[in-house]
Amino acid sequence: MYDLYKMEKEIQNYSGKKPELAPLLQLYKAIYTTQQNYVPKLSLVIPTNISIVNDKLRSGEYLLREVTPDFTPVSFREVTQAISVSICRNSPNPPPNLNILAKDEALSGMNGKKLAVELAQNNLSDTAAVVVNSGIEGRTGIDNEILQLVLIAALATFYMAHSQAVTENNDFKLWQQGYCPVCGQYPKIAKFREEDNSRILHCGFCHTEWSYPRLKCPFCENSEQNKLEYFYVPDDEARRVQVCGNCKNYLKTIDQKKLAKNVNLIVEDLYTRQLDLLALREGFKPTATPLNLH
Amino acid sequence: MKISRRQFLKLSGIAAFTAMAAVKLGCSPQDQQDVEELNIKYEKEISTICPYCGCGCGAICCVNDTGEIAAVIGDPDHPINEGALCSKGSAMLNLRNVYDQETGELVLNPNRATKVLYRAPYSEDWEEKSWDWSLEKIAQRVKQTRDDSFEAVDKNGITVNRTTAIAHLGSAAIDNEENYLMVKLQRALGIINLDHHARL
């Protein structure tokens, strides 16, 4: 996990450089802080023993494959409520009904667990449809995209708990796949480690980090060097976009050696929004279709 | 260029969902920079092996779109050096490019031989030759020397099948497998004067 104090410093630094991003960075930090507050309270559904974890990693199966997190003793509803409150407190225009979200029937009692399981068993790209089917939008009047943010942030907290518990004893050296060893999602951003130039991928969902060959596409496993390129804006060579000519996916990558600091990839992901737009302009896709969480 | 928030929907991760909902929460950047005209540079990473010694460390060359090498770094995924390079390996870029002492610009290394040079017996000048010509010439001279000096038996009548007119000095920059093949070739020719060139 990232140190919250250092994260705040980083956000202050970047807010000075790009003031227009300050509200977005602060909002995300508030969500992340809320998630971190709940992580120690959540129970785990997989063993974190190093040899058991390594056996599973060797087999190429991500740890939470076909496993649904335990939504007790802290309920999905409670985490959702906390995330809603933090969004209301840290948004310039908080949605008026967001504070009543936790009271909606879709989140009460067993329904809350059912909704969480449904979100976990669907693909992240299907979240909008799950939200529509739950009927929350119609009953509360809260915008679908805001509901997606709240529910996915709450769900991710349960996966973050597993990621952080496993990461305490394991550096995922045995994991050789391009998707996250904990939740199975494709990486959102990456960094080159300062000490040895190796590429560390970062899961945007549960924030797990693992190393992956530098000259190989994590999305299609293409290792033909003539089809792997990267681009950067000339006045910022430390932040690049690695692109694959085979699958047309891209991955933002931060070179820690050039920045001479340990970067916070969560902050960098939002700070480098411009690179996402440039990659789209160049005809590349954000990320491969996410894998199912379940 | 206008990128719709719908396009951000395709991004995975919480940051993407935050960015997607940001407009409705009032914290989306108002002055989103227009990226249509923004200049970018493309480069490629090509893996190579350090030529200096027999360790065979892996390196990555960062090559720009005009084919120039912009940087050379240690290959983190190479099992021998795992991203590290010694001081000579770190300066590998200077095999091809050096800094001009007057201008400070990176220019092609003027001392780097890029073509075969041949100096004929008793000549003071070097001539440029093709690779085909050179390999042919080497083969002819090796064959000629071996044939002229080959001994099937020594003065005691013992079969030796050797030539003492050719010697072979190995290279510090080749690996075990290459050394094996080179020795195999020399032994097949009957060369017995073999020595290594270890840089220890």
Residue B30, Cβ density class (10 Å: 0-12 exposed, 13-18 middle, ≥19 buried)? exposed
CB contact under 8 A, B25 and A92: yes
Interface with chain A: mutation pick from B17, B45, B61, B85, highest number of A CBs within 10 Å? B17
Looking at per-residue confidence, does B108 or B16 come out higher? B108
Min CA distance, A247 vs chain B (Å)? Answer: 15
CB contact under 8 A, A146 and B25: yes
In contact, A149 and B20? CB cutoff 8 Å? yes
Collapsed DSSP state (helix, strand, coil) of residue B35? coil
Which pLDDT score is estimated for B30? 53
pLDDT tens across A221-276, in order?
999 999 999 999 999 999 999 999 999 999 999 999 999 888 999 999 989 988 98
Min CA distance, A2 vs chain B (Å)? Answer: 15
Which sign does the torsion angle of CA A213, A219, A225, A229 carry? negative
Looking at per-residue confidence, does A65 or B152 come out higher? B152
Residue B38, Cβ neighbours under 10 Å: how many?
A: 14
Collapsed DSSP state (helix, strand, coil) of residue B149? helix
In contact, A170 and A54? CB cutoff 8 Å? yes
Angstrom distance (rounded) from CA B175 to CA B153: 34
pLDDT score of A152 more than 60 = yes
pLDDT score of B84 more than 70 = yes
Min CA distance, A288 vs chain B (Å)? Answer: 9
Interface with chain A: mutation pick from B2, B14, B20, B57, highest number of A CBs within 10 Å? B14
CB contact under 8 A, A146 and B82: no
> Per the structure block, which two tokens stand in for B100?
């001009």
pTM exceeds 0.95 for this model = no
User: What does the angle CA B91 – CA B97 – CA B100 come to, to the nearest 5 degrees?
Assistant: 105
Which pLDDT score is estimated for B9? 40
> Per the structure block, which two tokens stand in for A161?
């708990």
Angstrom distance (rounded) from CA A105 to CA A196: 52
CB contact under 8 A, A205 and B5: no
pLDDT tens across A5-49, in order?
899 999 999 999 888 888 889 999 999 999 999 999 988 888 888
Residue A222, Cβ density class (10 Å: 0-12 exposed, 13-18 middle, ≥19 buried)? middle
- Is A203 an interface residue toward B (CB < 8 Å)? yes
CB contact under 8 A, B46 and A225: yes
Nearest to A281 among B5, B21, B36 (CB): B36
Angstrom distance (rounded) from CA B173 to CA A5: 50
Min CA distance, B84 vs chain A (Å)? Answer: 6
In contact, A98 and A137? CB cutoff 8 Å? no
User: What does the angle CA B61 – CA B64 – CA B65 come to, to the nearest 5 degrees?
Assistant: 140
Min CA distance, A105 vs chain B (Å)? Answer: 23
Angstrom distance (rounded) from CA B59 to CA B84: 9
Angstrom distance (rounded) from CA A126 to CA A290: 10
Chain pair A-B, CB pairs under 8 angstroms: 182
pLDDT score of A144 more than 80 = yes
Q: Chain A 258-287, CB below 8 Å of chain B: which residues?
A: 266, 269-270, 273-274, 276-278, 280-282, 285-287
Angstrom distance (rounded) from CA A97 to CA A242: 41
- Is A255 an interface residue toward B (CB < 8 Å)? no
- Is A148 an interface residue toward B (CB < 8 Å)? yes
CB contact under 8 A, A233 and B76: no
> Per the structure block, which two tokens stand in for A126?
């299907």
Number of H helices, E strands in chain B: 6, 10
Task: Please state, in angstroms and as integers, the Cα–Cα distance from residue B178 to each residue in B171, B181, B195, following that order.
Answer: 10, 5, 15
Task: Please state, in angstroms and as integers, the Cα–Cα distance from residue B109 to each residue in A178, A270, B43, B62, following that order.
Answer: 40, 42, 22, 18
CB contact under 8 A, A274 and B15: no
Nearest to A234 among B12, B17, B39 (CB): B39
In contact, A142 and A188? CB cutoff 8 Å? no
The strand ranges marked E within chain B are 41-49, 58-64, 69-74, 97-99, 106-108, 116-118, 127-129, 151-153, 159-169, 191-195
Which pLDDT score is estimated for A47? 84
Nearest to A150 by CA among A264, A34, A266, A37: A34
Q: Which residues in chain A are contacts of B47 at CB distance < 8 A?
A: 215, 225
In residues, how long is chain A? Answer: 294
Min CA distance, B99 vs chain A (Å)? Answer: 21
> Partners of B117 in the beta sheet?
B128
Which pLDDT score is estimated for B33? 58
Residue A188, Cβ neighbours under 10 Å: how many?
A: 25
Q: At A16, give phi and psi (nearest 5°).
A: -70, -35
Tell me the H-state helices in B50-152: 87-90, 93-96, 131-149
Tell me which chain B residue has its CA closest to the CA of residue A250: B11
- Is A143 an interface residue toward B (CB < 8 Å)? yes
User: What does the angle CA A91 – CA A2 – CA A92 come to, to the nearest 5 degrees?
Assistant: 5
- Is A194 an interface residue toward B (CB < 8 Å)? no
What is the predicted ipTM? 0.87
Which pLDDT score is estimated for B8? 45
- Is A66 an interface residue toward B (CB < 8 Å)? no
Q: Which residues in chain B are contacts of A94 at CB distance < 8 A?
A: 25
Nearest to A24 among B13, B27, B43 (CB): B27
pLDDT score of B86 more than 80 = yes
